[in-house]
Amino acid sequence: MAKGHRSQIKRERNEQKDTRPSAKLSYARVSVQKACFVLDAIRGKDVKTAMAILEYNPRYASSLVKKLLASAIANAENNNGLNPENLYVAECYANQGPIMKRVRPRAQGRAYRIEKRMSNITIVLDEKK
């Protein structure tokens, strides 16, 4: 148990909070493995280059990540007052979300399970030093 007054505990917890601009997309209808192909291409790149990569990437996940990156840039401008030219993709990752389970009828009365996977995609930006 933490010692001190509740407001002091909250103050200490908020000091440790990450203040970098970010955006999160929950329940994206794309598997983690497919989303990571796109995220690996933009990790560490500056924002302008990352948007150009996503624009011409043929994968479905790139359209989702492009919208998410645009949202993260807008968050950086409006909430943190940062200049978009100085931003780069510090972190981007996809975690597994819930799985929709469906049934596919097969021969001789059997049923095969189909798993429609979802992911939670997060992009964190940071300013170049």
Q: Is residue 52 part of a domain?
A: yes
Tell me the sheet residues that pair with 98. none
Mean pLDDT of the chain: 93
For 10-110, where are the E strands, in sequence order?
22-28, 87-105
Q: Is residue 107 part of a domain?
A: yes
How does residue 15 score in pLDDT terms, banded at 50, 70 and 90? confident
The whole-number pLDDT of residue 31 equals 96
Region of 4 (left: φ > 0; alpha: ψ -120 to 50; beta: rest) is left
Coil, strand, or helix at residue 75? helix
Q: Is residue 11 part of a domain?
A: no
**Which residue segment(s) compose the domain that 122 sits in?**
20-127
Q: Is residue 5 part of a domain?
A: no
Strands 87-105 and 22-28: unpaired
Q: How many domains does the chain have?
A: 1
* First and final C-alpha spacing in the chain: 38
Q: Is residue 112 part of a domain?
A: yes
**Rounded Cα gap, residues 44 and 11, in angstroms:** 32
Query: pTM score, two decimals?
Result: 0.85
Q: Are the C-beta atoms of 111 and 103 separated by less than 8 Å?
A: yes
Which CATH number fits the domain that encloses residue 25? 3.90.470.10
The whole-number pLDDT of residue 1 equals 54
Q: Is residue 94 part of a domain?
A: yes
Coil, strand, or helix at residue 110? coil
pLDDT in tens, 23-82: 999 999 999 999 999 999 999 999 999 999 999 999 999 999 999 999 999 999 999 899
